[in-house]
Amino acid sequence: MTEALIVIDVQNDFCPGGALAVPGGDEIVSAINAMLPEFGARVFTQDWHPADHASFASQHPGKAPMEVIDMPYGPQVLWPDHCVQGTEGASFHAGLSVDAADLIIRKGFRKQIDSYSAFFENDQKTPTGLEGYLRTRGVERLKLVGLATDFCVHFSAVDAARLGFEVTVDLGACRAIDLQGSLDDALTSMRAVGVKLTEH
């Protein structure tokens, strides 16, 4: 049985100095690189937004980053402009062994909808294609690492568990934004659907 490592959004804008920096976001790169040879399938995800993406606070006059608005698919945190297609901020961290990836999934490229999960956009219906890829590779077990624990890692892990995969999140190779208690909420949510949380 093939086990896949899913590396979530280890991009410059989520690392220190980036537009939406996750504290310590660059600290996980060496640990992820060390894991890569251990897995039969390796998938990296990449936030890939158009410059006028609807989740950007800059697209909503009078709104500030981290405010929450209602979108047709539910509540949406408004973010600083980040991971804009083709920019240095959207590039993977320079230290990450990107050549080891079998597949790179780009998400969030549809202007009107955000995409936290590696499997579905935030409407919970529009697939990214990752599930089909993993099924055709014979993958049943997943380990998730990357950024950020409480958003894209969390949503990806919950979706994977609901799709029937056996899911582990290695918290030692993740970092969180922790927006108003979002980390504790994410950990509770992942445990509730059977995601195994480890520290190494």
The residues annotated with a catalytic role in the active site are 9, 107, 152
Element (H, E) at 184: helix 182-192
Strands (E), 78-176: 103-107, 139-147, 166-175
Structure tokens at 114: 């955000």
Structure tokens at 165: 């995969």
> Cα–Cα distance between 99 and 186 in angstroms, integer?
30
Among 79, 85, 86, 96, residue whose Cα is nearest residue 15: 96
> Cα–Cα distance between 188 and 200 in angstroms, integer?
19
Beta-carbon contacts of 64 under 8 Å, excluding residues fewer than 6 positions away, are 57, 78
